[in-house]
Amino acid sequence: MSTISSALTWTLQRLSNSSPPPPNGPPLSEKPPTRTPTPLLPLQPPPLSPVTLTGYSPSTSTQLMSPALAEEIRLLLPPLLQLHETWSLRYSLEQHGVSLSTLYDRTGTATAGAAAGGGHVLVVRDSAGGIFGAFLNEPPKPTGRYIGTGECFLWKSSQAPLRFWAFPYSGINEYLILADGNYLSIGGGYVYFRPCGRGERRLILFVVRGRNRDGKYGLWLNDTFDKGLSQPCETFGNEPLSEEGEKFEVIGVEVWKVG
């Protein structure tokens, strides 16, 4: 009995004098290691496929639009239209003849397999070799009144190497797209208030060959596509698009459907 009692006493003494086993992880007196959070990178949209241009005839000698120029214009289009990879040629002065009415017909009617919405890119070439134009969020049609929204813009480019300038909508007025049987204008018109009696005034819009109130055109083409005008205008805050000056001679015209 004394041996068993001595063994139990010795075991109890060992248990009371021994330190408890360390818990899992670092001792309580030590701070846990600092973990640096990984920064979240912004979501990047998938790269867009290159634009494919369709509609040129094999016999077309002068092509105003190029894939490189189309990519520059594409960056300024509404986001949904940027996703469209195929641009179709709806009107070409060289392929379809010198006729503003033909331009209206071919841009205002959807071809087989083409959607009704979308937008149109107008391309003009002058006798100095300059290439410039506009994006129209609605097809031009001879309504005699202004149409379009702030998605419209003017643009100009220079070749070899390609340089590109864009003139977005300023928001100052709403003189965006104006067309009739004699001309096509982007930017223009003027307004004035006419007294209506009893101190009231009525806002009257007068269309004077696409002019805005300071008498300037952003871009204007006549019905035979031989003469054009481009002047600084309030609608887009643009500079003249042609290097020939405010008046220029038209050599080529194209309209591309996007979407």
11-25 pLDDT tens trace: 556 555 555 555 555
Name the domain count of the chain.
1
- Is 63:94 a contact under the CB 8 Å cutoff? no
Residue 200's DSSP bridge partners are 197
SS3 content of the chain, % helix, strand, coil (to 5): 15, 30, 55
- Is 88:55 a contact under the CB 8 Å cutoff? yes
User: Would you say residue 205 lies in a domain?
Assistant: yes
Mean pLDDT score across all residues of the chain: 82
Question: In degrees to the nearest 10, what's the CA dihedral of 204, 210, 214, 217?
Answer: 160
Q: At residue 207, does pLDDT exceed 60?
A: no
DSSP letters along 86-104, please?
Answer: EEEEEEEHHHH-S-HHHHH
Whether residue 161 has a cis bond before it, omega within 30° of 0: yes
**Half-sphere exposure (CA, 13 Å, Cβ side) for 173?**
21
User: Would you say residue 237 lies in a domain?
Assistant: yes
pLDDT at 202: 39
Q: At residue 183, does pLDDT exceed 80?
A: yes
Helix (H) or strand (E) run with residue 121 in it: strand 119-126
- Is 154:238 a contact under the CB 8 Å cutoff? yes
- Whether the full predicted model's pTM is greater than 0.85, yes or no, is no
215-231 pLDDT tens trace: 688 999 999 999 999 99
User: Would you say residue 17 lies in a domain?
Assistant: no
The Cα–Cα gap between 194 and 110 comes to: 41
15 versus 80: which is more confidently predicted? 80
The residue range of the domain holding 251 is 64-258
15 versus 203: which is more confidently predicted? 15
User: Would you say residue 22 lies in a domain?
Assistant: no
pLDDT at 212: 43
Q: What are phi and psi of 106, to 5 degrees?
A: -75, -25
37-73 pLDDT tens trace: 777 777 777 788 999 999 999 999 999 999 999 999 9
User: Would you say residue 4 lies in a domain?
Assistant: no
Task: Determine the average pLDDT of the residues in 142-146.
Answer: 91
User: Would you say residue 10 lies in a domain?
Assistant: no
The Cα–Cα gap between 183 and 228 comes to: 10
User: Would you say residue 49 lies in a domain?
Assistant: no
User: Would you say residue 53 lies in a domain?
Assistant: no
Lowest mean pLDDT: which of 8-17, 86-95, 152-161? 8-17
Nearest to 257 by CA among 122, 161, 83: 122
Sign of the dihedral defined by the CA atoms of residues 127, 131, 133, 139, in that order: positive
Indicate the pLDDT class of residue 147, thresholds 50, 70 and 90: very high
pLDDT at 40: 73
Q: At residue 209, does pLDDT exceed 50?
A: no
How open is the CA angle 224-102-146, to the nearest 5 degrees?
80
pLDDT at 211: 40
